Amino acid sequence: MASYFDASTLEGFDLSSHDTVTKGLVFNSLVCMAVVVLVTTLRLYARHSIKHAAGLDDYFAAAAAASAVVLSTCCLFAAAQGLGKHIWDLGIDIQSPSSDRASLRISIPLYICYLSYLAGNTLVKCSIIASYYRLFPGQTFRRLLLVLSGLVVLTCISSILAIIFECYPIQSSWDWFSPIVKCINILRFFFVSSMISTVTDIIIWGCPLPQLFGLQMKPRRKFQLVLLFGAGAL
């Protein structure tokens, strides 16, 4: 049975190339982790200082930050093992059974990265939706938010299940040298999932606009609020 890597995998590649993106991966992971921790800490501190209580949106934000820390930590660990380099620069003999253990030090953290990203992305959206629910009291609008949150959560669950059950046997999804019986077209699934995620992003950004335009305030203030929400969408 075939596996992710065998002798034929490297055919057609320039084995003399030794490019690497490991340093960039480490830099981005450290910066993102530092920014996420700083922003989340300031947010929770501000909410505690002003209202002396955290809301559901804050708990979602904290959980999203924890997912981001897990993501960055796994990236850093995998980078220390060689993530970002060509496989022929990792010293892995793809013909040797012992290569399995060496590759797992990269593939398992990378596998966790996928799941952490999905969880973090979903928790961020849930945090935004929860903040809308707190700010806008309209029952119809709140029902829309509940439906939207359900769609976001279902998209996350389906994506996680797709990653977990990407291949049969299941361990071949993270074990590059495990024999594979069958795999789904994960790239096609990610394409569809990304489209759905983008649509939900647009809806999340746009759904409070009618509420903002309905506020009793000067047009200039309304425009400033729209710009503020637009900056958040970016």
In the numeric block, the tokens 């647009």 are attached to 202
pLDDT value at 139 more than 80: yes
| Tokens matching residue 101 | 């253990």
The pLDDT of 154-175, averaged and rounded, is 85
Residue 171 corresponds to which tokens in the numbers above?
């361990």
Q: What percent of the chain has pLDDT over 90?
A: 31
More confident call, 181 vs 43: 43
Query: pLDDT for 54-63, tens place per residue?
Result: 788 999 999 9
Token digits for 145?
A: 């938010």
* CA–CA distance, 57 with 68 (Å, rounded to integer): 16
Average pLDDT for 198-225:
79
Decide if pLDDT at 173 tops 80. Answer: no
- Contact call for residues 77 and 123 (beta carbons, < 8 A): no
Q: How many residues does the chain have?
A: 234
* pLDDT for 101: 67
- Per-residue confidence (pLDDT) for residue 231, from 0 to 100: 65
**For 134-146, what is the mean pLDDT?**
89
Three-point CA angle 67, 72, 77, nearest 5°? 125
Q: Bigger pLDDT: 40 or 3?
A: 40
127: tokens are 């945090």
Q: What is the mean pLDDT of residues 143-167?
A: 91
C-alpha distance across the termini of the chain, in Å: 45
Reported as a single tens digit per residue, the pLDDT across 111-136 is 899 899 999 999 999 999 999 998 88
Q: How many helices (H) and strands (E) are present in the chain, helices listed first? A: 7, 2
User: Contact 159/118 with Cβ under 8 angstroms?
Assistant: yes
Q: Give dist(CA 184, CA 35) in Å, integer.
A: 36
Q: Which residues pair with 182 in a beta bridge?
A: 168
- Structure tokens, 157: 């669950």
Residue 58 neighbours by CB distance under 10 Å: 21
* Amino acid 51: pLDDT: 72
Mean predicted lDDT score pLDDT of the chain: 82
d(CA 17, CA 74): 26
Residue range 50-108, pLDDT digits in tens:
777 778 899 999 999 999 999 999 999 999 888 888 777 777 666 665 555 667 888 88
- pLDDT in the model for residue 94: 60
